[in-house]
């Protein structure tokens, strides 16, 4: 069986804009929330940055540094 890839997604985040990182893994707009979490155990994580920046957001949902990738996906 092929192992599922959980590589992070690099996204451009803009200063002053509110983003919501999908924490449940059900969103069709990964890594961002599309409301698919309804009825799940979690809520999206709000993300706001102080300057325009490109960051890698976690897709395995196991990071200790939500919403940013910390490399945990390499061990899954």
When divided into structural domains, the chain yields a total of: 1
Cα–Cα distance for residue pair 23/51, rounded to 1 Å: 23
Cα–Cα distance for residue pair 38/41, rounded to 1 Å: 8
4: confidence class by pLDDT, cuts 50, 70, 90: low
Pick the residue with more confidence: 56 or 2? 56
pLDDT at position 39? 80
Range of the domain at 71: 1-76
pTM of the full structure: 0.87
User: 16 — alpha (psi -120 to 50), left (phi > 0) or beta?
Assistant: left
Residue-wise pLDDT tens digits, 17-74: 999 999 999 999 999 999 998 887 889 999 999 999 999 999 999 999 999 999 999 9
């Amino acid at each position: 069986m092929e192992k599922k890839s959980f590589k992070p997604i690099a996204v451009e985040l803009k200063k002053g804009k509110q983003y919501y990182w999908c924490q449940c893994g059900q969103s069709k707009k990964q890594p961002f929330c599309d409301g698919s979490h309804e009825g799940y155990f979690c809520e999206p994580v709000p993300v706001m940055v102080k300057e325009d920046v490109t960051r890698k957001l976690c897709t395995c949902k196991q990071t200790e540094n939500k919403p940013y990738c910390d490399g945990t996906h390499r061990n899954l």
